[in-house]
Structure 1
């Protein structure tokens, strides 16, 4: 279930990032196989999109993206290669019907995105690093037209940010927090925060929150969810202010909204603690008031990154 939800999130996320650069198809059927391609991208320009860093560099040519929540085994990687060659076969047959040629460069490339990758897998597929590409990007032999991206090995730079979002654990947590911070500086990234917030809510509603992987993904998406909730509240407050001014009852309405906002923030903190640690016991409940005194950003970072013991030690109640 978690794999399916992650796949849907990854597809929507990559589609939103890549569609300004070209044609994006998700969940495309492979005719010769009972399989789907996660993301098939065909660029409309050969210029590298510098804003997307490594992802923009990968998307200069026609390619397939196959993102994984958990590291794929050798069978799953071979399955990806089968899909790639099926697509290439379709394109070659189409070109033949249209009596035109298609060059090797025009055939799509495969990018397998995995949170981690073992040396055994890399060695077995002959995957190696290449000059001019970041650490963590391993290319299969030339004519296989494929590469494995081990997201946890990518350098922690702005260029790798958009791929690190598709990682796991701390890698993903930190990347999503970075996107949230970027959205504060540049409105153009706010749509990504909305996607993350929406998927966090879907996970809570449609998944078993006691499942460790579900809890991990919920926590990774929580900074975006909290940021979006703050925006929704601010929009509501502003609308309420205007209404209050019009009706001459601004002061009373404002006080009520402030109380409601505090209650909403407290409920979110309680929800995060319960999801992260399984339940909200007496010890955790006792530190909520101190957490509420922090800024939303600092509060979220602590809730996402600190263990139960670290939280209790930091906010020790006498």
Structure 2
């Protein structure tokens, strides 16, 4: 059961990261049998800022089938992934034939198997070897297969690999979470990833029987979750206070001048930069022209 929860997290996580850059089809069914691709991705033309995702962004630069594994991927299941790829390739060729068009090689997705670990025998069995222009941990099979195997626990500890190391296990995933926590709060994927991790934590905590590794993950995420909820609470309280002050300013302006027209409305944000004990007497004493002259210049 816990493996299913981690698999669902991986799908949701990859979908969230890749969604801004193209079309994502999670759990796409292929063939008459019940076979599902974990994630089928097609980048939008001229997709920009993929470098934000580092190695994952480089993977997503061309159409891709992404199959993440929670445990070390067995050879038999990698073969199943290849079968899905061949079926997708067949569908594309049949569609092109119906439209009297040729299938562009660049339109055929590349299969990326994401596995925490992989033995040398497994890699040799698929003829998977490193490429000089890719980082450690990425292995490519012969060109005909259009497949690569990413061994997550072999990836270097760099910003470029962070988003894939988040799908690792044990210390590899915990290190990735530490790096995620250290990112600026304005990073486009920091909060979205944390929210997905919190959902995973909640689902794992609901299990009556859990693995020691899952319990460690729950404990690692607990202070982050508490800190995040406290920050959200503080932000909510701050927004509430700002809204209350805005209502006070609007009410005072209406009492003084009978209405709140567009010209007065434009100075409210400038007025709110002052504390209530400073702006209240000004609103009660200054004329309309004086208020606009004083606060309108800040716009």
Q: Using structure 2 for the length normalisation, give the TM-score.
A: 0.75
Tell me the distance in 2 between the aligned counterparts of 1:29 and 1:227. 40
Give the conservation status (yes or no) of the 8 Å contact 1:180–1:223: no
* Superposition deviation, residue 71 in structure 1: 0.4
Rg larger in structure: 2
Q: How many Å apart are 1:124 and its aligned residue?
A: 1.0
Q: Which residue of 2 aligns with 1:62?
A: 63
1:26 counterpart = 2:60: no
Moved more, 32-41 or 5-14: 32-41
Structure 1 unaligned regions, length at least 5: 247-318
Q: CA offsets per residue over residues 227-263 of structure 1, 9 Å max, x none? A: 42232332355367679999xxxxxxxxxxxxxxxxx
Show the counterpart of 1:214. 214
1:44-85, Cα deviation, whole Å (9 max, x unpaired): 135561111111100011010000110011111111111111
Indicate whether 1:8 and 2:37 are aligned: no
Does the aligned pair in 1 maintain the 2:93–2:103 contact within 8 Å? yes
Q: Is the 8 A contact 1:11 1:38 kept in 2?
A: yes
**Residues 72, 135 of structure 1: alpha-carbon distance in 2 compared, 3 angstrom cutoff:** same
Alignment of 1:1-318 (within 5 A): 1-46=1-46, 49-184=50-185, 186=187, 189-205=190-206, 207-219=207-219, 221-222=221-222, 224-238=224-238
**Are 1:115 and 1:167, in contact at CA under 8 Å, matched by a contact in 2?**
yes
Q: 1:188 to 1:86 in 2, by over 3 A?
A: closer
3-state DSSP class of the match of 1:20? helix
The more displaced of 49-58 and 218-227 is 218-227
Q: 1:143 to 1:180 in 2, by over 3 A?
A: same
Cα distance in 2 for residues equivalent to 1:240 and 1:24: 37
Unaligned runs of 5+ in 2: 247-299
Aligned CA-pair RMSD: 2.3
Matched residue SS, 1:100: coil
For the residue of structure 2 that corresponds to 1:39, the secondary structure is strand
Quick check: 2:6–2:200 contact (8 Å CA) kept in 1?
no
TM-score, normalised on structure 1? Answer: 0.71
Aligned residues: 245
Which residue does 2:279 correspond to in 1? none
Do the aligned residues in 2 keep the contact of 1:136 with 1:150 (CA within 8 Å)?
yes
**Distance in 2 of aligned mates of 1:132 and 1:223:** 39
* Conservation of the 8 A alpha-carbon contact between 2:38 and 2:66: yes
> Partner of 2:54: helix, strand, or coil?
helix
Q: Distance in 2 between matches of 1:95 and 1:245?
A: 62
d(CA) in 1 for partners of 2:13 and 2:150?
17
C-alpha contact (below 8 Å) 1:21/1:43 kept by paired residues: yes
Indicate the SS of the match to 1:19.
helix
